[in-house]
Structure 1
Amino acid sequence: MPFAELGDVRVFFTDDSPAGREPRGTLLLVHGYGADSDDWVFHFPEFGKRYRIIAPDLRGHGLSSAPATGYAPHDFAGDLVRLLDHLGVTEPVVAIGHSLGTMAVSALAVEYPARVRALVCVDPAYGQTPEIAAGFPAMYEGLRSGDPYPTALANEEWCHTPASPSWLLAWHRRKILATAPQALAEAFPALYDGDAAFGVRPQGDAYLARRECPVLSCWSAAQGASASWERGLFRHPASRAEVWPGAGHRLHAERPAEFTLVVRRWLDELDRAAPAPPSALRTSAPVASPDRTAR
């Protein structure tokens, strides 16, 4: 069945494994705000040659049900754990998230560290500066006005560059319109507003620094300055923060072949590396990674 009953939510998911071979591990693919798991269809063929792929629609998105509440990153992380349990996945997964999905998988890594081997974070929603976050309350008001769609659609404009394909903008406008209004109204504010939110720096820095697994983050051109900031939070020496020149917010959809190649090579590096002793993973100060720019 492509649906899982997980307490208060019915989650749609796909679960695919390589044909005729044992997978090298499990990839958990988590989409962003106002989107769905179809965001990853570009990557299924290549990743599916090696890995088991689990791709859910988050609550309130896509074909999953839309409870009245439960749209904070920690809620999404809890759903992901319950889905892994439902599917009998006991080994640590590589969790790949985009935008809001990066905060869901980061919460997964912090709150359930035994379930996560590594993270890939695509143009993260976290790391917003106080100057940018100062404009968010007006968005919260629009999203909670009873009709969140105009505000959510207006927010979509910054996600693209002049080089972004026009079909990508049209596709995601339709995805937003298919997202439950309560999900749009609550999920965005939950990233940045409230005591448990960790999307704005410096308030969220301490929480993100608790991610002890390797992290590969891929930042768009518009948010490239955040890569240097994130390097100061990494705990694992294999972590990297890369800037993708010219890329828009959905860089994984704009450049899918490049994205899958970058991720596969990084995972291959992790496979080749000897297991790091616990002392290497729990340093007294964050370990900075070299400046690596994707080409």
Structure 2
Amino acid sequence: MFRFMIGVLGALATVLSAAAQVQPFPPSFRTEQIETNGTTIHVRVGGAGPAVVLLHGYGETGDMWAPMAEDLARDHTVVVPDLRGLGLSSKPITGYDKKTQAGDVAGVLDAPKIDRADLVTHDIGNMVGYAFAIQYPERTKRFVLIDAPVPGVGPWEEVLKNPLLWHFRFGGPDMERLVAGRERIYLDRFWNEFSATPSRFTEASRVHYAKLYALPGAMHAGFAQFAAFDQDALDNKRFIATKGKLTMPVLAIGGEKSFGPTMATIMRFAASDVTEGVVPDSGHWIMEENPKATIAIVSDFLTSK
């Protein structure tokens, strides 16, 4: 029994140690719970200067941005929300279309009275960011999108045919029961298949995010993000038809082993001033696989004239 307990405690210590290795935000950052648009958004804020908003995607939370937030905070006010329903934000039943979530971002900026900001987004964050930029162009200075398409933009229907993206259509009344207690197994599939080098999505990060996605309501929210894609596509086609293309400077970045230069090709259907960027030696998980290069590409774009 004694040896058994020692083994259990040792395993627990290993897990806790791994979790502790996820890079935290600098101590100067504060956290806030901002009530807006029918939900409560968990936000980290730090630094000083022109504002930049960092929006995460599925399989992660705002925690993914800690290394970039630390770098940008030297000369920016950095605002990092958890998307509606994910991370430590509240988990309402509805509101996961990206047009609604753009209102969440507007409310997050209204709280500290930020009129304009740069946007840096990844994955589903791209979709929320686009809905914000097209509805609030006067509040969006520059827009960086990283390694995920936007519903209804460019070759969206062809993207949907990719068998790797079966999770876009994963649904039905039993989907939450199928993954309950198996969140880590489900998420490992994303972290492994969409990485150029799966080991770079560390065990520490996997433990950390699996715990957050196992919170009550989190998997429902994640599935709802995907289930809203059809509505998002309709909304975005309508935006392009009525409002035209984005006119602010856009940087479209793809991981070298993922979307690569295709990101810029896609975004030229929806924006008139697009710069192409590629993160070398990286798949989809750019902040896990090559954070140094990602930070450098984004920082250079945000500080360029």
TM-score normalised by length of structure 2: 0.74
Distance 2:41 2:130 in 1: 20
CA distance in 1, matches of 2:174, 2:60: 16
Q: Give 3-state SS (helix, strand or coil) of 2:228's partner.
A: helix
Matches within 5 A, 1:1-295: 2-18=32-48, 23=49, 25-90=50-115, 92-126=116-150, 128=156, 129-132=159-162, 135-136=166-167, 138-141=169-172, 144-148=175-179, 149=183, 151-162=186-197, 164-167=199-202, 171-172=205-206, 174-179=208-213, 180-191=218-229, 194-197=230-233, 206=240, 210-220=245-255, 221-224=257-260, 226-227=262-263, 229-230=265-266, 232-233=268-269, 235-237=271-273, 239-269=274-304, 272=305
Indicate how the Cα distance of structure 1 residues 242 and 140 shifts in structure 2: closer, same or farther if over 3 A, else same: farther
- Distance in structure 1 (CA, Å) of the matches to 2:37 and 2:66: 27
Give, in angstroms, the shift of residue 38 of structure 1.
0.8
- For residues 258 and 33 of structure 1, the distance between their equivalents in structure 2, rounded to whole angstroms, comes to 21
Change (3 A) 1:135 1:15: closer
* Bigger fraction of residues in helix: 2
- Give distance in 1, aligned partners of 2:212 and 2:90: 12
Q: Secondary structure at the match of 1:62?
A: coil
Q: How high is the TM-score relative to the length of structure 1?
A: 0.76
Instruction: State the Cα distance separating 1:156 from its structure 2 match.
Output: 3.5
Task: Report SS of the residue matched to 2:232.
Answer: coil
Shift of 1:10: 1.3
**1:73 positional shift:** 1.4
Q: Distance in 2 between matches of 1:143 and 1:257?
A: 40
Deviation at 1:55, TM superposition (A): 0.5
- Distance across 2 between alignment mates of 1:7 and 1:60: 13
Distance in structure 1 (CA, Å) of the matches to 2:212 and 2:136? 31
CA deviation string 1:20-55 (max 9, x = no partner): xxx1x1110111113211111111221011100000
- Measured after TM superposition, the shift of residue 101 of structure 1 is 0.3
Q: What is the number of equivalent residue pairs in this alignment?
A: 258
Give the deviation of 1:186 after TM superposition.
Answer: 0.6
Distance in 1 separating the partners of 2:37 and 2:264:
40
Question: Contact 2:51–2:76 (CA<8 Å) still a contact in 1?
Answer: yes
Gaps of 5+ in 2: 1-30
Residue 219 and residue 143 in structure 1: after superposition, are their counterparts in 2 closer, same or farther (change >3 A)? farther
Compared CA separation, residues 219 and 141, structure 1 to 2 (3 A): farther
For structure 1, the residue ranges without an aligned partner over 5 or more in a row are 273-295
Tell me by how many angstroms 1:268 deviates.
2.5
RMSD: 3.0
How far apart, CA to CA, are the structure 1 residues paired with 2:168 and 2:33? 35
For residue 223 of structure 1, give the secondary structure of its aligned residue in structure 2. Answer: coil
Tell whether the 8 Å contact from 1:122 to 1:252 is kept in structure 2 after alignment: no
